[in-house]
């Protein structure tokens, strides 16, 4: 009896303490979650953070301390999409911690060539708005965008807008693009804001996801978004960028909630994407179809598919299995990166 009594006591104690412990955990969770938010906008030194509690309060925050990311030379340490921990004392809100990112997208800083700009983080997909000719797609632009999203294998959809303006030769280009990109696992949509076609599919694409939305200025990004989500205050005034005059009017991304479900990170009109952070092998591995073939290259993963003997990629380009357009863009990008590295290596000599 005695020992049973003791056992009961021990069991009761364990039960009680685990109950107390669970309460404590719940208390801790509530306490912490009050101070966790999502960065929805950044203007350089200030960050707008939306708290993830019932209040959905928007706080203007500054950064406390230094943040680093894989030792990358970042111009902005905190990205739109980041989940952050906020410390609110003396009426001031400070970002004191960035929670682990599921992914992020970086590009070379448009202002400082050797620095990187964090465009967004924790996204479900990236959407690139283009048009065949209104304005014309710069050669290699799509592939650079795909490359930017390759590190974390972020799904990408290409949206060809202004379909109403396409004549037969534009339609030929569109068909070719469609076949190239769908073959290697990317999605393609066509839309026209004027004729209201493809808009439901575009809306469906964004629904319940966090999407990074990009495009060169003038492709109709704002028009498209306004067509499916009226009253969203997307900034305008990026047209000066398009004509090539003046400075960027906006260089920072911003996250918007969509009424029909989902969030969208709008990026300023992207002129060109360069990659000072990548080395040639890195680029080779980021072209997914080339990477797939490279296991049959004589030099395997170290083959750059240029003039190496026994290159399976070159062979696949010759037989048309790999798109010559993609391959040529790849060669151009490789050369560009090597040129950058050349300057990098000779910085002290100059």
Query: Counting contacts by CB under 6 A, is residue 266 touching ligand GDP?
Result: no
Closest separation between CB of residue 173 and ligand GDP, Å?
A: 16
Candidate residues 76, 157, 190, 192; the one interacting with ligand GDP per rule CB under 6 A: 192
Closest separation between CB of residue 145 and ligand GDP, Å?
A: 14
- C-alpha–C-alpha distance, residues 263 and 206, integer Å: 8
Residues of this chain that interact with Zn ion (CB under 5 A) are: 297, 303, 305, 311, 313
Query: Counting contacts by CB under 6 A, is residue 161 touching ligand GDP?
Result: yes
Looking at the Cβ atoms of 262 and 268, the one nearer to ligand GDP is 268
Q: What is the DSSP letter of 246?
A: S
CB 75 within 8 A of CB 117: yes
Query: Counting contacts by CB under 6 A, is residue 69 touching ligand GDP?
Result: no
Binding partner at 161 among Mg ion, Zn ion, ligand GDP, none, C-beta below 5 to 8 Å by kind: ligand GDP
Query: Counting contacts by CB under 6 A, is residue 238 touching ligand GDP?
Result: yes
Closest separation between CB of residue 104 and ligand GDP, Å?
A: 24
Beta strands in the chain (DSSP E): 36-42, 47-51, 58-63, 83-89, 92-98, 104-108, 116-121, 125-130, 156-160, 187-190, 210-215, 254-257, 263-266
- C-alpha–C-alpha distance, residues 68 and 329, integer Å: 32
Q: Is 194 exposed, middle or buried (0-12, 13-18, 19+ CB in 10 A)?
A: middle
CB 206 within 8 A of CB 258: yes
Looking at the Cβ atoms of 110 and 218, the one nearer to ligand GDP is 218
- In angstroms, the Cα distances linking 210 to 50, 95, 124, 127 are 15, 22, 5, 10
Query: Counting contacts by CB under 6 A, is residue 262 touching ligand GDP?
Result: no
Candidate residues 222, 229, 276, 286; the one interacting with Mg ion per rule CB under 5 A: 222
Closest separation between CB of residue 194 and Mg ion, Å?
A: 16
**Which residues share a beta bridge with 118?**
106
Q: Is 168 exposed, middle or buried (0-12, 13-18, 19+ CB in 10 A)?
A: exposed
Looking at the Cβ atoms of 193 and 264, the one nearer to ligand GDP is 193
Binding partner at 262 among Mg ion, ligand GDP, Zn ion, none, C-beta below 5 to 8 Å by kind: none
Binding partner at 313 among ligand GDP, Zn ion, Mg ion, none, C-beta below 5 to 8 Å by kind: Zn ion
Candidate residues 110, 135, 155, 218; the one interacting with ligand GDP per rule CB under 6 A: 218
DSSP calls for 137-170:
PPTTHHHHHHHHTTTTT--EEEEE--GGG--HHH
Region from 26-34, 135-143, 211-219, 248-256 binding ligand GDP, contact rule CB under 6 A: 211-219
- Contact residues toward ligand GDP (CB under 6 A) are 161-162, 164-165, 192-194, 215, 217-223, 238, 269
């Amino acid at each position: 009896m005695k020992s049973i009594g003791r056992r009961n006591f021990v069991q009761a104690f364990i039960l009680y303490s685990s109950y107390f412990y669970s309460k404590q955990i719940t208390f801790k969770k509530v306490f912490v979650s009050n101070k966790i938010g999502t960065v929805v906008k950044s203007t350089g030194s200030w960050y707008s953070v939306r708290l993830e509690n019932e209040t959905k309060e928007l706080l203007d925050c500054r950064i406390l301390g230094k943040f680093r990311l894989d030792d990358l030379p970042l111009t902005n340490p905190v990205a739109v999409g980041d989940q952050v921990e906020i410390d609110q004392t003396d009426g001031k809100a400070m970002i004191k911690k960035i929670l682990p990112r599921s992914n992020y997208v970086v590009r070379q800083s448009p202002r400082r060539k050797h620095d990187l700009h964090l465009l967004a983080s924790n996204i479900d997909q990236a959407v690139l708005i283009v048009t065949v000719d209104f304005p014309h797609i710069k050669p290699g632009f799509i592939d650079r965008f795909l490359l930017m999203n390759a590190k974390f294998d972020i799904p990408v959809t290409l949206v060809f807008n202004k379909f109403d303006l396409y004549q037969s030769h534009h339609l030929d280009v569109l068909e070719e693009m469609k076949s190239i990109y769908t073959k290697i696992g990317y999605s393609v949509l066509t839309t026209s804001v004027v004729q209201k076609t493809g808009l439901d599919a575009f809306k469906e694409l964004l629904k319940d996801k966090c999407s990074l939305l990009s495009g060169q200025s003038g492709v109709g990004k704002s028009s498209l978004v306004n067509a499916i989500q009226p009253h969203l205050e997307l900034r305008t005034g990026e047209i000066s960028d398009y004509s090539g005059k003046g400075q960027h009017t906006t260089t920072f991304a911003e996250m918007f909630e969509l009424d029909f479900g989902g969030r969208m990170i709008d990026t300023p009109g992207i002129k060109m994407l360069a990659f000072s952070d990548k080395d040639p092998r890195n680029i080779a591995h980021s072209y997914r179809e080339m990477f797939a073939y490279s296991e049959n290259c004589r030099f395997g993963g170290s083959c750059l598919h240029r003039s190496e003997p026994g290159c399976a990629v070159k062979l696949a380009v010759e037989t048309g299995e790999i798109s010559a357009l993609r391959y040529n863009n790849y060669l151009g990008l490789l050369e560009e990166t090597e040129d950058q590295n050349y300057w990098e290596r000779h910085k002290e000599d100059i």
